[in-house]
Amino acid sequence: MEYTTRVIPESFRGARDDFTLQFSMVWDQIKAPLIVPLLRLAVAVCLIMSVMLFIERVYMGVVIILIKLFGRRPEKRYKWEPMKDDVELGNSGYPMVLIQVPMYNEREVYQLSIGAACGLSWPSDRIIIQVLDDSTDPTIKDMVELECQRWASKGINIKYEIRDNRNGYKAGALKEGMKRSYVKNCDYVAIFDADFQPEPDFLWRTIPFLVHNPEIGLVQARWKFVNADECLMTRMQEMSLNYHFSVEQEVGSSTYAFFGFNGTAGVWRIAALNEAGGWKDRTTVEDMDLAVRASLKGWKFLYLDDLRVKNELPSTFKAYRYQQHRWSCGPANLFRKMIKEIVMNKVSNFSHLFVSNTSSVSPHQEAHPFSFPFFVCWELRK
């Protein structure tokens, strides 16, 4: 028995040493022909991506300089005329505008957002305020409903809408809101999140672009942060988002290329929204999802840098982390779902160059056959 207890451990150690030696030999044999090329490929891909990012930054810098030098304001690139009263038609000469304000347990800001929406200047019989309340707190629901009733008693055409569930979250609420019968008479829809406060002249500065330029599907305004100096985190967010607006979106708009809808502080042409398939809740970035589908249909987007809408930045790390997680994971998931559609759209646009009869193509689909698919892929990749 003593002999056995001594032999087994020694044999086991010998087998283990043999296995380690064999594994080391196998690793030495496959390391050079397999692992090294994969690492080299990964390094090459990283270098290529770095060069692409550098070229993109240089390109955007050049475009911004040219915009500043030559003053390529939106009013010069697109037709813009102020809306005028028609003696014969009266207010019916103005387009019907829907204002959507999605909410979810907004105890602190619901009065400000509803008040700002109801304070928008536009003929009273040509505007509908739609408050989409998904609140789960009964107390907050009652407060929001009472606030809507208060504005309705002042003659404001405001609708308080609720759902039995929260399917699709914000996208689901917006989608349900668009199904209401009174929406069928509307031409445009402006969307403001609960913490956004547009100035009274917001519609007078955006709607004319849509009225006089039938190829434009979206007019996007810039965000103005009222709590940017609250802490270091809000200052850092302001710097990052200011670059996004003043450079990325300005360049995309000025070059007639793709840039994403920010989910709020924008006005959609309802025809463009419907043609793109409406709101979908398949990702956490329903705003970019809609923008990609609309751009693939050929609709143009316009960004107005001098039109700014007040809002607040996340001031707690928890809120900031949640926001960044949604903004980071959402585009990657959307890219995975839409890559085939984007590639097929690019191939289809390429084939249109060799087709002489384009009578079946709508006016907003004729220009810039390559710009949208390329920039859609690039923006989603980022």
Q: Quick one: pLDDT at residue 22?
A: 76
Element (H or E) spanning 64, and its range?
A: helix 36-70
Q: Give the residue ranges of the chain where pLDDT is below 50.
A: 1-8, 12, 350-381
Q: Which long-range contacts (CB under 8 A, 24 or more apart) does 325-331 make?
A: 326/284, 326/285, 327/285, 329/284, 330/283, 330/284, 330/285, 330/288, 331/285, 331/288, 331/379, 331/380, 331/382
Q: Quick one: pLDDT at residue 347?
A: 57
Query: For the residues of 96-137, what is the DSSP string, one character each?
Result: PEEEEEEESS-TTTHHHHHHHHHT--S-GGGEEEEEEE----
Active site residue 17: no
Q: Quick one: pLDDT at residue 380?
A: 47
| Residue 110 backbone phi and psi in degrees, to 5 | -65, -35
Give every CB contact of residue 276 below 8 A, 6+ residues apart in sequence: 217, 290, 293, 294, 296, 297, 299
Active site residue 287: yes
- Is residue 57 within 8 A of residue 240, CB to CB? The reply is no
Q: Quick one: pLDDT at residue 319?
A: 82
Question: For 91-111, how does the pLDDT look when each residue is reduced to its tens digit (9 = 90+)?
Answer: 888 999 999 999 999 998 999
State the Cα–Cα distance between residues 162 and 145, nearest whole angstrom. 10
Query: pTM for the complete prediction?
Result: 0.80
State the Cα–Cα distance between residues 266 and 221, nearest whole angstrom. 6
Question: For 309-359, how does the pLDDT look when each residue is reduced to its tens digit (9 = 90+)?
Answer: 999 998 888 888 888 877 778 888 888 888 888 888 765 554 443 443 433
Give me the catalytic one of 133, 134, 193, 289: 134
Give me the catalytic one of 193, 195, 287, 289: 287
Question: For 152-189, how does the pLDDT look when each residue is reduced to its tens digit (9 = 90+)?
Answer: 999 999 999 999 898 999 999 999 999 999 999 999 99
Task: Give all strands of the β-sheet with 97-103 in edge-to-edge order.
Answer: 158-162, 127-133, 97-103, 188-191, 266-269, 216-225, 300-311
